[in-house]
């Protein structure tokens, strides 16, 4: 039963469409509807209702990237509007975050087990775009200048680092391939950017948290795709190949986000032209072999160390001497394509791992990215 039903019966189409169309762009009304005591039920009912015209409800959750950001902290109206945007999107994400919500959104009653992405693809795409600026918040990273997006109690409800609630949000937004690719690609971009932030200042207090956040975002991306495709295929091999292809779509989309995906480097673009796309395989693992038992590969964590190390400007002389095979004569780290080309020594990835461990000797576990990934990825089974 939904809040739209009268005496146990849903209103006939398109009775609701003009009602919602008349108020869906009223931000104050939408905020009140999604944040009151029954707000989560309201959001889920909107998502799971089969709209004859999705444009009637899309404005409720349509925010461009600027709307949620404070432009002038001294302007109370500007701050209030940005806060309202964050509160609306937080309420939407919270409503999507429970296991019961995922069950409802992935198999809507009365629709022959269709998901929200199948029933309301345009609505899901709208939410995907509006939720994108808050991706860091889904792994508890503060987003200064974007107020209102409250994560207390729902992103990681068990407090274990598994981010079960966030995984349900990723899965829901992955039920439509276009919406999923958009959201997943921005999560991958943010994951790589987090590794770069570590490399820019590895000696900063708690700098290892950047690597943990990178692992969490990689895992949420993988897990969201897996969950969204769990019931789409009867054959496990076919399903795992489809999961890989969707992950590859997200990676490919990152390369089209702009020329400076990674601060200060063209790493993605350089490696795409270095035979075999080595960074792609590092992030996704090799494509499953259909001739063998298909399985969803994990990132190559040892090679992934390069992303963080590539952002370090000045390595200690002792490290350059000890791990000299990783450096050029000018003292700079050799290119990814050079270190990990098909003809290069496999020992480089071990040496890369040792270099990262040496740099993090006093600041944390150099396996932090992998440990955080495992905590998220393996938590549900």
- Reported as a single tens digit per residue, the pLDDT across 147-201 is 999 999 999 999 999 999 999 999 999 999 999 999 999 998 899 889 888 888 8
What per-residue confidence (pLDDT) applies to 262?
Answer: 45
Q: What is the pLDDT of residues 72-100, one digit of tens each?
A: 999 999 999 999 999 999 999 999 999 99
Closest C-alpha to 22, from 47, 55, 71: 55
Task: Please say if the pLDDT value at position 146 is more than 90.
Answer: yes
Tell me which of 133 and 326 has the higher pLDDT. Answer: 133
pLDDT level of residue 316 (50, 70, 90 thresholds): confident
Task: Please say if the pLDDT value at position 275 is more than 90.
Answer: no
Ranges of each domain in the chain: 1-161, 176-381
pLDDT level of residue 243 (50, 70, 90 thresholds): confident
What per-residue confidence (pLDDT) applies to 100?
Answer: 96
pLDDT level of residue 241 (50, 70, 90 thresholds): confident
What per-residue confidence (pLDDT) applies to 123?
Answer: 98
Task: Please say if the pLDDT value at position 20 is more than 70.
Answer: yes
Distances from the Cα of 31 to the Cα of 45, 47, 61, 70, 81, angstroms: 16, 16, 10, 18, 11
Q: What is the overall mean pLDDT for the chain?
A: 84
pLDDT level of residue 57 (50, 70, 90 thresholds): very high
pTM exceeding 0.85: yes
pLDDT level of residue 375 (50, 70, 90 thresholds): very high
What per-residue confidence (pLDDT) applies to 282?
Answer: 73
- Secondary structure in 3-state letters for the chain: CCCCCECCECCCCCCHHHHHHHHCCCHHHHHHHHHCCCHHHHHHHHHHCCCCCHHHCHHHHCCCCCCCCCCCCCCHHHHHHHHHHHHHHHHHHHHHCCHHHHHHHHCCCCCCCCCHHHHCHHHHHHHHHHHHHHHHHHHCCCCCCCCCCCCCCCCCCCCCCCCHHHHHHHHHHCCCHHHHHHHHHHHHHHHHHHHHHHHHCCCCCCCHHHHHHHHHHHHHHHHHHHHHHCCCCCCHHHHHHHHHHHHHHHHHHHCCCCCCCECCECHHHHHHCCCCCHHHHHHHCCCCCCCCCCCCCCCCHHHHHHHHHCCCCCCCHHHHHHCHHHECCCCCECCHHHHCCCCCCCHHHHHHHHHHHHHCCCCCCCCHHHHHHHHHHCCCC
What per-residue confidence (pLDDT) applies to 372?
Answer: 94
Distances from the Cα of 358 to the Cα of 130, 210, 315, 317, angstroms: 40, 17, 11, 13
- Report d(CA 81, CA 59) in Å as an integer: 15
What per-residue confidence (pLDDT) applies to 237?
Answer: 72
pLDDT level of residue 48 (50, 70, 90 thresholds): very high
What per-residue confidence (pLDDT) applies to 346?
Answer: 65
What per-residue confidence (pLDDT) applies to 3?
Answer: 65
Could you give the angle at which helices 76-96 and 27-35 cross, rounded to 10 degrees? 40
Q: Which range is least confidently modeled, 38-42, 227-231, 248-252, 345-349?
A: 345-349
Neighbours of 275 (CB within 10 A): 10
What per-residue confidence (pLDDT) applies to 354?
Answer: 77
Tell me which of 316 and 360 has the higher pLDDT. Answer: 316
Q: What is the pLDDT of residues 278-302, one digit of tens each?
A: 667 777 777 776 554 444 567 878 7
pLDDT level of residue 364 (50, 70, 90 thresholds): low
């Amino acid at each position: 039963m939904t809040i739209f039903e009268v005496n146990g019966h849903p209103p006939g189409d398109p009775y609701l469409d003009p009602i919602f169309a008349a108020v869906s762009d009223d931000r104050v009304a939408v905020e009140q509807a999604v944040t009151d005591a029954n707000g989560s039920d309201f959001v889920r009912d909107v998502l799971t209702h089969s709209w004859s015209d999705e444009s009637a409800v899309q404005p409720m959750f349509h925010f461009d990237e600027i709307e949620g950001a404070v432009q002038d902290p001294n302007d109370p109206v500007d701050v209030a509007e940005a806060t309202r945007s964050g509160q609306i999107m937080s309420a939407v994400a919270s409503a999507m975050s429970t296991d019961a919500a995922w069950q409802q959104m992935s198999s809507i009653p009365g629709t022959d087990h269709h998901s929200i992405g199948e029933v309301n693809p345009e609505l899901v795409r709208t939410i995907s775009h509006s939720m994108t600026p808050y991706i860091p918040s889904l792994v508890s990273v503060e987003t200064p200048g974007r107020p209102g997006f409250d994560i207390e109690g729902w992103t990681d409800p068990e407090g274990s680092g598994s981010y079960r609630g966030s995984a349900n949000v990723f899965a829901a937004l992955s039920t439509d391939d276009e919406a999923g690719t958009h959201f997943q690609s921005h999560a991958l971009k943010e994951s790589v950017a987090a590794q770069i932030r570590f490399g820019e200042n590895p000696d900063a207090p708690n700098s290892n948290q950047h690597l943990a956040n990178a692992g969490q975002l990689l895992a949420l991306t993988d897990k969201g795709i897996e969950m969204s495709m769990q019931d789409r295929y009867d054959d496990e091999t076919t399903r795992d190949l489809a999961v890989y292809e969707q992950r590859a779509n997200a990676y490919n989309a990152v390369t089209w986000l702009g020329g400076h995906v990674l601060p200060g480097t063209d790493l993605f673009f350089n490696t795409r032209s270095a035979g075999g796309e080595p960074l792609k395989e590092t992030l996704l693992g090799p494509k499953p072999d259909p001739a063998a038992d298909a399985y969803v590969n994990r990132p190559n964590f040892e090679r992934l160390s390069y992303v963080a190390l590539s952002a370090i400007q000045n390595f200690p002389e002792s490290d350059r001497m000890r791990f000299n095979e990783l450096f050029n004569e000018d003292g700079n780290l050799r290119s990814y394509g050079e270190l990990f080309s098909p003809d290069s020594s496999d020992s480089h990835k071990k040496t890369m791992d040792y270099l990262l461990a040496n740099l993090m000797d006093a600041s944390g576990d150099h396996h932090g990215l992998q440990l955080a990934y495992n905590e998220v990825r393996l938590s549900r089974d």
